[in-house]
Structure 1
Amino acid sequence: MKPTASRLTALGNALSTKEGVPLPESKGLQFEFPGGCLDLTRHLINEEVFKTLLEHAVSRQLCESRDAMFAGERINASENRAVLHVALRGGVQHSIEVDGEDPAEYAAEQLDRMLAFADAVRNGKIQASNGVPFTDVINIGIGGSDLGPRMAVEALRSTTSGPKVHFVANVDGHDFELVTRELDPQTTLCLVASKTFTTLETMMNARTARAWIAEAVGEDHVGSHFAALSTNAGAVQAFGIDPERMFGFRDWVGGRFSMWSPIGLSLACAIGSEGFRELLAGAAAMDQHFAQAPVAQNAPMLMGLLGYWCRVHLGFAGHAVIPYDRRLGRLPAYLQQADMESNGKRVSASGEPLAGPTGALVFGEPGTDAQHAFFQWLHQGTDRALVDLIGVVHPDHDHDEHHRALLANLVAQAEALRHGRSPEAARAAAMEAGLQGDALELAAASMTFPGDRPVTVMLLDRLDAYCLGSLVALHEHRIFVEGILYGLNSFDQPGVELGKTLAKTILPQLSGSSSDMDDRLCWLLQQCQKGLTKT
């Protein structure tokens, strides 16, 4: 018998060129998971494809790879690190040892410290230097130190209380100015989120924030307005932050998987310790589902297998994430980093070039806004993408008519993307509109939708901390599964480093302190310098 990958390629070649692919049997493709339910019946698969995918999971040792992660093995081979963000939320159900300590015990200690600090900020026990409670909290970070907490704060905004939480990430000075222009530095707490306390963008923003605070409260009181999410005690103290206000995490926590760690302090300030523990509980429930459910009934496993199938064997480069809930508006950006930084690789986990496609291009916007933006491309473009439609069953408002219309649009788009509109149906619609002759033929051609777009429909019970935790953990595990199937390491990010290194080289040149450059680069830098010249 041919290897499963070869069989999948042959099946993919047959289905990707076929029009009107029949729907698969719904048995086993519609089921509940912690906090919601999943409908995979609109994928381009049949019984043979599904069976072969499950066999491929065995041949690629998906379950063994999953178990190795939960056991604390150093599956991040390029950095010789364990991958244990699951330990941050109680997802590890047995005692393990990494670098001489139990990760779950260490994580619990840091969690208790962080949440005690967050609650003290919220209830006014920790105050600004002028003796009044903090009114605002600014998280200063970038990438994984920003996208996860920012997404979660926005998603849970209707349940937040206490100081208002803001985010500064971009090194663009407008970001800092727009966030702080209406804030009072005398009642603002800044959280500097940088594991090494050396990240260029974060530290530049932190220094700007420090100067802003110092001008208002005086140099002697700056430390009262800062906390650090870092492991570099020396640099934190040199900045003027008391080490007691430093909250750390181990190197088995990757940045894009760190929302559950002290990187989530801004979120804890927004929703409190009880809400944050509910978030962790939802994630832990998904961890146990991922660890224990059979592959054929395992949401992250199946979504990973189908994502891999769409990318590698059907050749679809795009993955659209469309949350039909405005509060999840930052979810596509969060998943864009989590997915593309994890699986946008060209070499295998052992360093050899990979022959086939790897991670998809992730993009998205909330529905129904997205329907009036790029859904034209999704429906009738010459390329195809996997589409995730995410809804929430129980809203946090009383506008039933709005919610009914929102969910109707979600279901309608799921049906339209998968089934399309046949030439006969398009022609009938054009005739009903009163068109004749050439106008009729043109309209019929334009109104034909090919369909056969693979769709995942996910419904959360409600958008609370528990369900959000489950949703995010599901995608973390789905991304890991896809990485194993691609044959790569999902937990390093060497491609991020080159640009950082070059920026450090360009910065002094942009300041005019170096002439060692070619004419092409010299011209570009001269154009940039026009905005830096003070007149």
Structure 2
Amino acid sequence: MPHLTTSDTWQQLKQHTRTLPHMRTLFEQNPQRFEQMSLSSCGLLLDYSKNRVNDETLALLFKLAKETNLEQKIASMFQGDIINNTEQRAVLHTALRAKPNEEVWVNGVNIVSEVQQTLTKMAKFVAQVQSGDWLGYSDKPITDIVSIGIGGSFLGPKIVSQALRPYWHKGINCHFVANVDASSICEKLKGLNAETTLFVMSSKSFGTQETLTNTLSAKQWFLAQGGSQQDVAKHFVAVTSNVAKATEFGMDANNIFPMWDWVGGRYSLWSAIGLPIALLIGMDNFKLLLEGAQAMDEHFAHSPLEQNIPTVMALLSVLYGNFYGAQSHVILTYDHYLRGLPAYFQQLDMESNGKSVTMAGTEVDFNTGPVIWGGEGTNGQHAYHQLLHQGTGLIPADFILPLQSHNPLGEHHQQLASNCFGQTQALMQGRTYSEALAELSTADITDAQKQLIAKHKVMPGNKPSNTLLMDKLTPTTLGSLIALYEHRTFVQGVIWDINSFDQWGVELGKVLGNDVLDKLGAQHDSTTLDASSNALINIFRRQKL
């Protein structure tokens, strides 16, 4: 295939997008638009009819996907080919939720068997903690879990646990720590009882700076509260591949859960990294989470591109980023339990597709990953939705709503749904000057004031959005939803021919941060870096003296 931006299909899309009418007109032209532009699978319904597309747009987008060999690359991922070419790794987070009888071979090992062994080990441990059989050093059951990690080892477990709050086991609470700022862990430890607290430390190397620092501080707190070095094994467990370091720390080798290099951090909540989730919601519910993701894997791997929800959503994102100049994408959740989801999808998408070279290392000449942001939809309506409706930039939006609430109370959920649907309609439809002026016809102001205010009330509309519905937020539907966004991210990377599975930008910050840390502890002023860094380091050092 020719270079992406010079291909015939790319150029056709470029010309075609200039001729599309306003979405109001598209809906008027096709009353069957919703039926033709909605998809259902895995407990989710996607309405993508409120997008700047018609049949020709979609045909060109699917043609682009086929020309970039998307179907072949999907198969390559699932069968364990080395698609992370810079780190020479397979990408097999999907194997973490594979059915027990499936086989996925890596270096002569059926990794599904290894995954199942780990799930069995997790199930035993979770049952002991939830039943109260796992006792602390003073023979009291566990009441609080402190999960220590960072990046994917922190955000996935935290957001999923938050989303599944209605399924938490009674009598157990969880506190998540990632920030190396001491205030974070100190605030979490306030009010906890060392006798009934379990720490779960997640770090593949058992040496991630922030995670190790927080874990060492947790250990110091534990010892200061009355625990002994021998008691550490009853109160600290690890998810790591470095068993030696974990046992040296004081953890029992039987309480160390494995990680694998074919799983990236932001794709790892399905593994033992999800141990805090399982401890909170129980292993049966954790397996339902996996089943939901596995169902989406099946849908993604086997559905035609035209009926493939992750593919459709990814192609729409490519459309807006590359042909309409959209720089960001907003995720709006209409469910309090899903309030953290935008942050999780932010990490998933931006760490994966924030790249500027192709798989072969050549610089790209087009936009890649957008800025992902968002929050609770109803709160946003009184804040940043103003920018969505009347700002000059184009910001595509995803609206996510469960049809049933875990807490039915009066008309709360009805109002929530009305806000969700009303916002998508307003973004699509907008308000013309004549409509705004007509609304002011009975106002007790002058004609000149009416005309002025009407201009300020004009909203262009034609702002694209997707609406994702589910019957109810459950472990299964949440698993499907997260896997959907994982695959959406992958498809974008395939179209752009970038590696969605490395993160060298993250690595550089770590390396330079460690170099600066050495200088902060030095006995003399630093003069070896740039002028700004030297000055900041020296100011910090003098403050510490």
Post-superposition, which runs of at least 4 consecutive aligned residues in structure 1 deviate over 6 A? none
Give the Cα separation in 2 of the matches to 1:304 and 1:254.
Answer: 20
> Does the CA contact (< 8 Å) of 2:146 and 2:177 recur in 1?
yes
From 334, 343, 361, give the equivalent of 1:351.
361
> Does the CA contact (< 8 Å) of 2:331 and 2:342 recur in 1?
yes
Secondary structure class of the residue paired with 1:125: coil
Give the Cα separation in 2 of the matches to 1:409 and 1:69.
Answer: 39
Cα RMSD (Å)? 1.8
**Distance apart, 1:430 and its partner CA:** 2.7
> Does the CA contact (< 8 Å) of 2:77 and 2:90 recur in 1?
yes
Give the Cα separation in 2 of the matches to 1:432 and 1:473.
Answer: 51
Give the Cα separation in 1 of the matches to 2:520 and 2:17.
Answer: 50
Matches within 5 A, 1:169-184: 169-184=178-193
Percentage of pairs with the same residue: 37
Alignment of 1:3 with 2:12, yes or no, is no
Match of 1:26 in 2: 34
**Equivalent residue pairs, number:** 532
**Distance apart, 1:187 and its partner CA:** 1.0
From 240, 265, 270, give the equivalent of 1:260.
270
Give the Cα separation in 1 of the matches to 2:442 and 2:270.
Answer: 56
Say which is worse superposed, 233-242 or 523-532, in terms of deviation: 523-532
Structure 2 CA distance for partners of 1:223 and 1:531, relative to 1, 3 Å: farther
**Distance apart, 1:258 and its partner CA:** 0.3
**Distance apart, 1:91 and its partner CA:** 6.1
Match of 2:59 in 1: 51
**Distance apart, 1:530 and its partner CA:** 6.0
**Distance apart, 1:398 and its partner CA:** 2.4
**Distance apart, 1:21 and its partner CA:** 5.8
Deviations 1:243-269, CA, capped at 9 Å, x for gaps:
111101211111000000000000000
Match of 2:3 in 1: none
Deviations 1:79-117, CA, capped at 9 Å, x for gaps:
111111111111698423111201211111111111221
Match of 1:246 in 2: 256
From 427, 437, 443, give the equivalent of 1:427.
437
Amino acid paired to 1:436: T
Give the Cα separation in 2 of the matches to 1:138 and 1:2.
Answer: 52
Matches within 5 A, 1:404-415: 404-415=414-425
Deviations 1:63-84, CA, capped at 9 Å, x for gaps:
1110111111111111111111
Give the Cα separation in 2 of the matches to 1:531 and 1:428.
Answer: 64
Amino acid paired to 2:218: A
TM-score (norm. length: structure 1): 0.96
Match of 2:382 in 1: 372
**Distance apart, 1:220 and its partner CA:** 2.3
Structure 2 CA distance for partners of 1:399 and 1:19, relative to 1, 3 Å: closer
Say which is worse superposed, 493-502 or 120-129, in terms of deviation: 120-129
Deviations 1:392-421, CA, capped at 9 Å, x for gaps:
011112214000000000000000011111
Structure 2 CA distance for partners of 1:149 and 1:252, relative to 1, 3 Å: same
Alignment of 1:196 with 2:205, yes or no, is yes
Match of 2:400 in 1: 390
Give the Cα separation in 1 of the matches to 2:369 and 2:76.
Answer: 22
Amino acid paired to 2:419: N
Secondary structure class of the residue paired with 1:190: strand
Instruction: For structure 1, list consecutive stretches of 5 or more residues without a partner in the other structure.
Output: none
Instruction: For structure 2, list consecutive stretches of 5 or more residues without a partner in the other structure.
Output: 1-5
Matches within 5 A, 1:130-169: 130-161=138-169, 162-169=171-178
From 515, 523, 526, give the equivalent of 2:535.
523
Matches within 5 A, 1:46-125: 46-90=54-98, 94-125=102-133
Say which is worse superposed, 339-348 or 24-33, in terms of deviation: 24-33
TM-score (norm. length: structure 2): 0.94
Give the Cα separation in 2 of the matches to 1:91 and 1:48.
Answer: 39
Deviations 1:365-401, CA, capped at 9 Å, x for gaps:
1120011121011111111111000000111122140
Structure 2 CA distance for partners of 1:149 and 1:29, relative to 1, 3 Å: same
Say which is worse superposed, 188-197 or 523-532, in terms of deviation: 523-532
Give the Cα separation in 2 of the matches to 1:396 and 1:505.
Answer: 49
Deviations 1:222-243, CA, capped at 9 Å, x for gaps:
2211000000111111211111
Amino acid paired to 1:87: A
> Does the CA contact (< 8 Å) of 2:178 and 2:210 recur in 1?
yes
Structure 2 CA distance for partners of 1:511 and 1:147, relative to 1, 3 Å: same
Give the Cα separation in 1 of the matches to 2:70 and 2:440.
Answer: 50
